[in-house]
Amino acid sequence: MTNEITEKLKQASDGLLFMSESDYPFEVFLWSAQAQEALTDQKLLQLTGHSQDVPIEKVDLDYFFRNSAQEKDWHDQNQKQTVKQFRALVETLKANLSDIQVYRVGTINIDVYIVGKTQSGDLVGLSTKVVET
């Protein structure tokens, strides 16, 4: 079941780049052994190899994708297609995971982890980077 979900996320995010001052792809991750513990900020930093003093900001999934999954009047066909892909990605996340939380770790070069729980309790999600100066 969990492998099926990671595969769906791989397919939904394939070829998508999250746009900021730099564009980064999405990577799927699975933290199965960690699922029994609550995911605290400290636990997230430990799982992702960050030092414990790195700042973390939590944002809502829809807020995180607000610019990517929203069609604008001035979008061309390619941009409209990309918006559809981002919408499908958000729907895939919502359909397969519960308790979804978006963690923004660090400043300027920000590591982003979109984490949710599977029915079996595994933690699964996507990571990407955002550059904000």
pLDDT tens for 29-56 read: 998 765 567 789 999 999 999 999 999 9
Q: Is 99 strand, coil or helix? A: strand
Domains, the chain, with CATH or none: 2-131 (3.40.1460.10)
Q: What tokens appear for 11 in the block?
A: 């397919």
DSSP 23-79: EEE-EEEEE-TTTTS---HHHHHHHTT--TTS-EEEE-HHHHTTTTS---TT--HHH
Of 85, 83, 81, which Cα lies nearest the Cα of 66?
Answer: 83
Of 22, 19, 39, 21, which Cα lies nearest the Cα of 31?
Answer: 39
Q: Is 90 strand, coil or helix? A: helix
pLDDT one-digit tens code per residue, 53-85: 999 999 999 999 999 989 899 999 999 999 999
Pairing outcome for strands 27-31 and 56-59: unpaired
Q: Is 89 buried (19+), middle (13-18) or exposed (0-12) by CB count in 10 A? A: buried
Identify the pLDDT of residue 33.
60
Of 11, 16, 13, 19, which Cα lies nearest the Cα of 126?
Answer: 13
